[in-house]
Amino acid sequence: MTLNEYQKAALTTAVYPAEFNTLYPALGMAGEAGEVADKVKKIIRDTQITRNEQGAINIEPQKATEIAKEVGDVLWYCATIAHDLGYSLENIAQMNIEKLQSRKRRGVLGGSGDNR
């Protein structure tokens, strides 16, 4: 499935008042991103932490699936807000890659602020 195919399918389930276009999905995205963070936080709090060869925390497959479902909800909100703004997900993805490649070429991937 391409990003645009996903977006088209996601939009068939987008039920919110048109007067709240952009606002509704922006708030939903923030909430779902918080749920992703909360599930990761609970792993840190409730799990005996083990690490892989690179030192990253290992996440049990069941917990990874729970987090992935929340990431899917974030993606749904990305699809709807992109549509409300007049963009396809593939347009958004391409713009993001171009921005990041520009920052990489200029040696400013790190740091803060949008116009590095």
Per-chain mean pLDDT for the chain: 94
Q: What is the pLDDT of residue 116?
A: 67
Predicted confidence (pLDDT) per residue in 31-88, tens digit: 999 999 999 999 999 988 899 999 999 999 999 999 999 999 999 999 999 999 999 9
Q: What is the pLDDT of residue 40?
A: 95
Q: What is the pLDDT of residue 112?
A: 78
**Count of C-beta atoms within a 10 Å radius of residue 7:** 24
For the cut 70, the answer to whether the pLDDT of residue 23 exceeds it is yes
How does residue 111 score in pLDDT terms, banded at 50, 70 and 90? confident
In the chain, where are the structural domains located? 3-105
The CATH code that applies to domain 3-105 is 1.10.287.1080
